[in-house]
Chain A
Amino acid sequence: MNAVEIVQVSAAWAPLGALLLLALATVATGLDGAIAARAAGHPWQQGLRLPWAETARLLRQRRRTTVAADRLLWRTAGAGLLVTALLKIVVVPLGAWTLSDMSVGLVWFNAMDILVWALVWLAGWGPNSAHSLIGGYRFLGQALSYELPLMFALTAPATAAGSLRVGDIVTAQQGLWFIVWMPVAFLVFCAALMGFSVWGPFSTPFGADIAGGVLAETSGIDRWLLLAGRWALLTAGSAFGVTLFLGGGAGPVLPAWLWVLVKTGILLAALVLLRRRLPALRPDRIAAAAWLVVLPLVLLQVLIVSVVVVGRG
């Protein structure tokens, strides 16, 4: 395996990055729909159409508002999730190419993640509705639980690579993927990834028990933006996970850029399959587990990585 030299490409390629992100998110949604359709007794092919049918439905639906809604913040937050996902992939190298090879790429990703805190909460606050607001607060509680473990999980690869530059982290994995000796950090990253995408077991801010929570009052394009934003965040997070832990574009035969897409697809599919097997984690339970069990474990992981790095000199 030859080390891939990461080059920064012109910002004119950004729309292509956005298209790839949305295409992967659509595939993941289709897969999710296909599995759900089979479980409901329909042919699975019917479920593949689901992202398109839902998009058509929401494009045709009227937007709505509520009495005394904070429209500006509500709409901004709705569109913000998708924008955040796009900003996240700016630092993810697609094989040899990256949109921005900034020296603090890892911190950039984390900063975008903090943006999600504000956006989901504002989306819950905007419509001036009890169920939405409870959804927004549930997310803040959840974010307090996943954010610190996530930050330490991100620290592990950075420590091993001795750099915050995402390109350096990929290069440092040429011999051995980080997942092999940082499994705990990888698992914590995957859980936090579902957390900031407000998805799967971490979807209680959008839960059925609060009539859709943050989604309760949205319709039409506003609803589409929130739903698509969540899937896009999940996809962007998976792509970043591939970059940090699964060797980025490293792999035989196929070109590096294709490996990134394939690995991202596989990680997404694994998450979609996992979701069917797990109930939602009730928000009041997550905090204790995150702070008492997960945080010490991930700190231990960082310690081990640090000792190995020091030992290697």
Chain B
Amino acid sequence: MKRRRLLQELLAGAAVVSAGVLPYGIAILLAPSGPARTHGSHLRPPGALKDDDAFVSACIGCSLCGEVCPPRCIKFHARDGGGAVNTPYIDPTDKACILCDKCMQACPTEALTVARRDEVDMGYADIDETACYPWVDRGICGACVAICPLGERAISFDFANVYRPVVQSGCVGCGMCVEICPHPSKPIWIVERPEDAERPPVRG
């Protein structure tokens, strides 16, 4: 008799717990985790925590960063992302960050913290010298150098040929160059910041 009572209580407890877990299960099912984030087309906004797991646990998904973004470059994992659902990302092939720092000031949590524009770390531009038009002598371009909001300390022309772009150590990976690049395969691309890319000394 006692055992039956215990069994009933356990069953009732299990039913209550599963009823409580059910909505979370449904919510996660509605946002399946898609293919792994490819760095470069899914950048975190500027000032984001470096560790992406820490970023996901700090971001409350309020979409404030997107609402204040002047170029409207911040998108959200709305229908995908699994546990990272509703977190922001920037796809520079579509619209790139202009480093205006409004999102960092709007973020209520530590997910985005205010950083100086030359201390932002979204990544590092990488140029494919086998595709970039000036590098393969298919004309002159220089769009990436012209658009860069940080100027010479982030990207400049090669010493030998004024139209061949070379990324400098001051690059913060905002992706403006990726957005502007006219080549269909985007030979300039944002990658993880290499270890040896030291930042230039901050000027006044």
Task: Report if A and B associate in a common complex.
Answer: no
